Amino acid sequence: MTSSLMLCLALTLPGADPQLTPAKQAAVAAVDERAAMITDLGKKVWEFAELAFQEHKSSALLADALEREGFKVTRGVATMPTAFVAEYGSGKPVVAILAEYDALPGLSQAAVPQQQPLPTSRAGHGCGHNLFGAASTGAALAVKHVLADRKLSGTVRLYGCPAEEGGSGKVYLVREGLMKDVDVAFHWHPGSGNSAAMKSSLAVIRFRVRFTGKAAHAAGSPQKGRSALDGIELMNVGVNYLREHVPTDSRIHYVITNGGGRPNIVPEHAESWYYIRSPKMTDAALIFERVKKIAQGAALMSETQQEVHMVTGSYEILENEPLAKLMDANLRAIGAPQFTDDEIKFATELRQNIGVNEGRDTTLGALDTTIGNFTSDVTNGSTDVGDVSWVVPTTGLSIATSARGVPGHSWSTVACAGSPIGTRGSIVAAKVLATTTLDIFEQPERVAAAKADFERRKGTVVYKVLLPPGPAPTRLDDLN
């Protein structure tokens, strides 16, 4: 028996639950048949570890896999060379499955439970997007198989989405109208637990503030200079005082990206990069207006000039109860991933190496094999899936692909994402995405309920794309 076949069999979960319709059972079987392929796609994207807007190998790999199996693929969409749309079928309903594949800088790591950077890379999949892209691709291929075999009407469309990490790639897709005919959209995300509950996210506004002053000799003629760095520092002090007067669940982060060149030169140019987050974009926008006033005040105090440049923004996820309940039912029918002894050993050692404290509960184990309760809450992160959810009824799930207590955006997440732990979780995610998509094709009347809930929750809020004018950049650092 070949090693790839052994891995495929090892990843296959027990037979389809009787709750699943024959079509959905066929989708589960189709994912199992493609388990080795999904594993290979995820591992290759993990090895590529390409940063936002630079995912040329990763996007081509996934697009090629879809094209080989009969999808019509359009590449380089929405001004992004690494974005694509792959479509199979015709007519309504149109169901979108989202795929991500960008990595993070500074997180090079081997697939081992101790910190060990790879000499060939400086980036790593610290959010597991290699698994995200591979599983979503596998789900779309499984759905295509069932559509063709059972001659079901409708269109499955996979969106290859670059630059989720700070670049808001999906917002460009929305801005260019590439989702205007989509009926419902599904996504998933790697994590340390299993849940298809109604989870929103934090809205985020990303912007840079640039100060311009006058250069001068810092010792010989400081009175002739006007320090742009003074402007930055005064602004940061003002923002730190503002923190007391924003909602307690809001966040403000910043870094100084340019503080001048040499200490003996009064800095003529300086810059800070800010993120504002809040559970509602309406609140984030109000905080943004106050921060802009602080920048103006800092410029007055330092006798400098300031400019605020929008980078990107992403809305909070607009929850959809009918779709979330549908996905939750499929997750429970399929079951959470069940891990091998070797995978548990890997996770246990990794947790020890990063100093995870069990606290009072020592019974949960190193890997989560349970399914969380169906609840409605807000996660502490932000995602451009939020913008999709404001134009299309959307829901998603989280599947355990890493050890409990492992922080995201860390070397430990990279290690799990490149290990069989990550792959095993991604196979479950593919099955849930595929079966939930089949629910829409088998019962298209569900679309009306999803759209009614969408309109009710959206209410009178007017969605507005938060992007600078012009095409997407070729790399994240080029954004303004």
Residue pLDDT, tens place only, 71-80: 999 999 999 9
- The token duo for 419 is 């290990």
The pLDDT assigned to 13 comes to 39
Render 3-69 in DSSP notation, one character per residue. Answer: HHHHHHHHHPPSSPPTTS-HHHHHHHHHHHHTHHHHHHHHHHHHHH-PPTT--HHHHHHHHHHHHHT
The pLDDT assigned to 363 comes to 55
Ranges of beta strands (E only) in 54-115 are 72-75, 84-90, 94-100, 104-105
Pairwise CA distance, residues 144 & 155, whole Å: 9
Task: Taking residues 27-51, report their average pLDDT.
Answer: 98
Q: DSSP letter for 364, please.
A: S
The pLDDT assigned to 362 comes to 56
Total of domains in the chain = 2
108 and 193 in a single domain? The answer is yes
Among 308, 299, 309, which residue's Cα sits nearest to residue 226?
A: 299
Which of 287, 315, 343 marks a domain boundary?
315
Average model confidence (pLDDT) across the chain: 94
Question: Are 480 and 468 within 8 A, CB to CB?
Answer: yes
The reply to whether 41 falls in a domain is: yes
What pTM value is reported for the model? 0.93
pLDDT of 230 > 90? The answer is yes
Q: Domain span at residue 191?
A: 3-200+320-458
The pLDDT assigned to 358 comes to 63
Question: Are 58 and 451 within 8 A, CB to CB?
Answer: no
The pLDDT assigned to 364 comes to 72
Question: Are 298 and 235 within 8 A, CB to CB?
Answer: yes
The pLDDT assigned to 480 comes to 62
Q: pLDDT (tens digit, 9 = 90+) per residue, 421-473?
A: 999 999 999 999 999 999 999 999 999 999 999 999 999 999 999 998 899 99
The pLDDT assigned to 247 comes to 95
H-helix or E-strand spanning residue 185: strand 184-191
The pLDDT assigned to 19 comes to 78
The reply to whether 479 falls in a domain is: no
187 and 243 in a single domain? The answer is no
78 and 178 in a single domain? The answer is yes
Residue 299 vs residues 256, 257, 293: alpha-carbon distances, Å = 16, 18, 10
131 and 31 in a single domain? The answer is yes
The pLDDT assigned to 398 comes to 97
Among 101, 46, 13, which residue's Cα sits nearest to residue 435?
A: 13
Strand 94-100 relative to strand 184-191, pairing? parallel
Task: Taking residues 45-52, report their average pLDDT.
Answer: 98
Task: Identify any residues that bridge with 352 across adjacent strands, giving them in sequence order.
Answer: none
Query: Which phi-psi region, left, alpha or beta, contains residue 471 (left: φ > 0; alpha: ψ -120 to 50)?
Result: beta
287 and 335 in a single domain? The answer is no
231 and 182 in a single domain? The answer is no
Per-residue confidence band for 12, with pLDDT thresholds at 50, 70 and 90: very low
The reply to whether 418 falls in a domain is: yes
The number of angstroms, rounded, from the C-alpha of 305 to the middle of its chain's C-alpha atoms is 36
Angle between helices 420-442 and 35-48 (to 10 degrees): 120
pLDDT of 195 > 70? The answer is yes
Render 290-341 in DSSP notation, one character per residue. Answer: HHHHHHHHHHHHHT-EEEEEEEEEEPPP---HHHHHHHHHHHHHH------H
- The token duo for 260 is 């001048």
Among 312, 326, 294, 461, which residue's Cα sits nearest to residue 21?
A: 326
191 and 66 in a single domain? The answer is yes
151 and 249 in a single domain? The answer is no
Strand 104-105 relative to strand 72-75, pairing? unpaired
Q: Can you give the CATH number for the domain in which 329 is found?
A: 3.40.630.10
286 and 400 in a single domain? The answer is no
264 CB burial (10 A radius; 0-12, 13-18, 19+): exposed
Q: Phi, psi (5° rounding) for residue 272?
A: -120, 150
Question: Are 44 and 161 within 8 A, CB to CB?
Answer: no
Pairwise CA distance, residues 112 & 118, whole Å: 11
Task: Taking residues 147-174, report their average pLDDT.
Answer: 96
Q: pLDDT (tens digit, 9 = 90+) per residue, 379-423?
A: 889 999 999 999 999 999 999 999 999 999 999 999 999 999 999
210 and 297 in a single domain? The answer is yes
Pairwise CA distance, residues 473 & 470, whole Å: 9
380 and 259 in a single domain? The answer is no
The pLDDT assigned to 1 comes to 40
Which of 278, 295, 315 marks a domain boundary?
315
